[in-house]
Amino acid sequence: MTAREAYEEALAGCDLHVREPEPFSDNELFWQARWFSGACGREFVCRDGRKVLVTDFGEWNREAGPDFVNTSVRIDGKHRQGAIEVDLDAAGWENHRHATNPDYENVVLHVAVRAPARAHFPRTASHREVPQICLSDCGGTGGESGAFVPAKPGRCAAPLRLLSQDSLADLLAVAARRRLERKGLALAAMIEARGTDAALYESFATALGYKNNKLPFQLLAQRVPPRIAATPRGEALLFGLAGFLEKPQPPSADARNVHAVLWKSWWRQRSSHAHLVLPRSAWRMNGLRPANHPLRRLGALVSVARCWKTVRGAIESGNLEQLEKVLGPLKHPFWSFHTTWNSPRRATILALVGPERIRDIYVNIALPLALSRGAEPQWLGLPASAGNTPARVAAARLFGGPPPRTLAGRLYVQQGLLQIYSDFCQRDHDECARCRFPGIVEKLSA
């Protein structure tokens, strides 16, 4: 039995329920962003059984009213064009009084995350019924969980120690490949839903948000596409929508002119965008290194937007060296030398997108995209990214500590551990009692 056959056999018998994604399951902005990205899918079934196909996700609404406008859907084959509203609960339509608000008259689809305890029939002010789908009914709420099971050795730790180095390496490579292929499928779904430019730019921006601020960066990329972000008006729009120009503070002398130019453009746009400004609570600033401050990351996003065609080409090349060649030299006249508005000017240039972030962008975007398109980049020899909590927890669960020294330091080992943890550990609510993975490992060592 090969490692791939063993892995697939273990998955085939895994019927345990995956934990719900955390920590944003009750965050409406998260679900709006997830919906708009195409990650929830395009084909659904209404609560009344009608089939729904979203043919155009439209645009974020910058005025009062529904979340997305200029959308197109097909309901049982009939084309409808109008707006889409996304709520956490099916009862949101009534609770938010959309039924009496004329701004919601042209809504063609109501999207609810959770199924209702009782039936709800959304209608407009003219008593027109609004078709409703629930993502929990359609499987659109799935995702890799952010929750962790205890970081203690699992039942698979013992048989894993008995595997030969080659067998263990093969098993981790199979799991890593599965992880990358799943990322590639998700990217392909986004590209089908939104187009290549929007999908890759949004994914790139999300990567700039790192683990603390993925959602705010995803929202900003969805609301300010690269063709706009590349302009002076777009740069002001990004910083304004981020909430970083809401209460202007007198910046340092170095930043005063830069800040003034942004503010001058932003206040002219603010009235039509005020309801889209992210609250301060959307940002997580604790524990960030100065170089990773969201202000600098936004500066990096602006620089990326200004040469987006070149960056996109590097991503689509599937070549890490090409990506490093394009992203490494990126500069911004202010943010290449500052970490915040009030930080002193550095004597030397600070990379807008550092080597570690370039590696993460390659692993999470460029490499999965290449594999999804049938290319086979040489990736098994790549060194691992910097250690993080999920990887350490996975290693503790599977090995009782760090991976064997013979395998440590490889990207595929890190990715494989994370995928095994996701496929099996996070599906198990029974302290390994029903997990099939240990048995499969024993077969490989026999």
Residue 394's pLDDT is 84
Query: Is the predicted pLDDT of residue 205 greater than 80, yes or no?
Result: yes
Lowest mean pLDDT among 181-185, 221-225, 432-436: 432-436
362/392 Cα distance (integer angstroms)? 21
Q: What percent of the chain has pLDDT over 70?
A: 90
- Reported as half-sphere exposure (CB side, CA atoms, 13 A), residue 47 has a value of 23
Higher pLDDT, 155 or 215: 215
Query: Is the predicted pLDDT of residue 274 greater than 60, yes or no?
Result: yes
Residues 6 or more apart whose Cβ sits within 8 Å of residue 201: 221, 225, 226, 305, 308, 312
Q: What is the pTM of this model?
A: 0.84
72: phi then psi, degrees, rounded to nearest 5: -135, 135
pLDDT tens profile 377-423: 989 988 887 766 777 888 888 888 888 887 878 889 999 999 998 88
pLDDT tens profile 313-341: 999 999 999 999 999 999 999 999 999 88
How are beta strands 68-75 and 59-60 bridged, if at all?
antiparallel
Higher pLDDT, 143 or 256: 256
For range 149-160, the mean pLDDT: 75
Residue 215's pLDDT is 93
Record the tokens describing residue 209, joined without a space: 């948000």
Residue 441's pLDDT is 86
For range 97-101, the mean pLDDT: 91
326 alpha-carbon distance from chain centroid = 23
Query: Is the predicted pLDDT of residue 249 greater than 70, yes or no?
Result: no
How are beta strands 107-114 and 51-56 bridged, if at all?
unpaired
Query: Is the predicted pLDDT of residue 147 greater than 50, yes or no?
Result: no
Average pLDDT taken over every residue of the chain: 87
Whole-angstrom CA distances from 40 to 86, 189, 220 are 12, 9, 19
Angle between helices 232-241 and 294-306 (to 10 degrees): 150
Reported confidence tier of residue 18, pLDDT bands at 50, 70, 90: very low
Residue 250's pLDDT is 62
How are beta strands 78-89 and 107-114 bridged, if at all?
parallel
Burial class (CB in 10 A: 0-12, 13-18, 19+), 429: exposed
